[in-house]
Amino acid sequence: MLAARNLFVSLSGRAILHDVSMALEPGEVVGLLGPNGAGKSTLMRALSGLLPFSGTVELDGDNLAAMSDRARARHIAFLPQARAIAWPLSVENVVRLGRSPWRGLGALSQKDLAIVTDAMEAMDVAALADRPVTELSGGEQARVLAARAMAQTTPVLLADEPVSGLDPAHQMTMMAALRRLAGQRRAILVSLHDLTLAARWCDRLVVMAEGRIVAEGRPADIMTGERLRDVFGITAHIAHDECGLIFAPTGLAALEPKG
Ligand code: ADP
Ligand code: MG
């Protein structure tokens, strides 16, 4: 569905992404992991057409770079890491903005309104519908913006650290909502720092470091102690239970003798 090939991105004269190639298929939740500065946000911004890049990104065979902004917004929704909301719009009106690639400024249909309601319920913000978003907590605002991205009903959703700042229950609400979207044959790329959450909720993980993809595969195959040391610079207990892998960081790799 989405295929990125040989992406290179430079920002302010610095090479940031180096030869990144990856694909997303309908029905999968792919976790994007990597330390701060690895290039996760840059990759998502390039995939959503917000940054110039060299290489190609195709959506169902169509070249992303050749699409109009509106056409692209009907294909890819991007939930950015920064979540500043400047205007005191109501929660419902913010979520309604997710329909604008489909409706412009025209009136929303009954179907649009049903989509908006579903998205608010999926993100547990329906009870806040009439509140100004500027008065909500950071985590509540994050859920409102996630609902807006869901209301865009695109085949591809890129979510940049959508659970950061959320309480444990709403972290699971978020991951469950992403899984539900995948169940509707959408393709989801989600960057995460919580390795346990990533291993439990994602079908596949893509690991970045220093602007490159350094590993890709099923969580149990690629999230080894050696990789945690090499890529994330940590030592960790890795355990299994019926729900999947559990990672408990125990120290910094730099402080431990190699062995
Ligand atoms: P991640 O999301 O994995 O933490 P980013 O994609 O945000 O990483 O950043 C990757 C690298 O690109 C970092 O080293 C960051 O400093 C650099 N970078 C991001 N934006 C710019 C910019 N506008 N100009 C120069 N360097 C940038
Ligand atoms: Mg980032």
> Which ligand 1 atom sits closest to the C-alpha of 45?
6
Domain of 49, CATH number, reads 3.40.50.300
Q: Indicate the pairing of strand 156-160 with strand 187-191.
A: parallel
Ligand minimally distant from the alpha carbon of residue 35: 1
Residue range 114-131: mean pLDDT, rounded: 96
Condensed to tens digits (0 to 9), the pLDDT of residues 210-240 reads 999 999 999 999 999 999 999 999 999 999 9
Least confident of 104-108, 111-115, 134-138, 199-203: 104-108
Distances (CA, A) of 205 to 2, 14, 37, 175: 16, 26, 18, 14
Condensed to tens digits (0 to 9), the pLDDT of residues 36-56 reads 999 999 999 999 999 999 999
**pLDDT (0 to 100) of residue 257:** 64
pLDDT grade for 258, boundaries at 50, 70 and 90: low
Structural domain span for residue 162:
1-75+154-219
> Which ligand 1 atom sits closest to the C-alpha of 39?
6
Residue range 114-126: mean pLDDT, rounded: 96
The letter for the amino acid at 259 is G
Residue to substitute in 7, 10, 16 for testing ligand 1 pocket (most ligand atoms within 8 angstroms of CB): 16
Q: 65 or 35, which is more confident?
A: 35
* 90/129 Cα distance (integer angstroms): 7
Condensed to tens digits (0 to 9), the pLDDT of residues 185-208 reads 999 999 999 999 999 999 999 999
Q: Both 64 and 26 in a single domain? A: yes
Average pLDDT for the chain = 93
Please indicate, yes or no, if residue 113 is contained in any of the structural domains: yes
Share of the chain above pLDDT 70, in %: 98
Q: Both 141 and 194 in a single domain? A: no
pLDDT above 60: residue 174: yes
Q: Both 161 and 61 in a single domain? A: yes
Q: Both 22 and 111 in a single domain? A: no
Distances (CA, A) of 117 to 94, 96, 134, 143, 243: 12, 9, 20, 14, 31
> Which ligand 1 atom sits closest to the C-alpha of 44?
6
The number of folded domains in the chain is 2
Identify the CA nearest to 200 among candidates 31, 25, 33, 32: 31
Share of the chain above pLDDT 90, in %: 87
- Regarding the beta carbon of 9 and ligand 1, being less than 6 Å apart is answered no
- Regarding the beta carbon of 14 and ligand 1, being less than 6 Å apart is answered yes
| 231 alpha carbon – ligand 2 mean position (Å) | 16
Spacing of C-alpha 244 from chain mean position: 21
Q: Both 68 and 122 in a single domain? A: no
DSSP state of 72: H
Q: Both 19 and 117 in a single domain? A: no
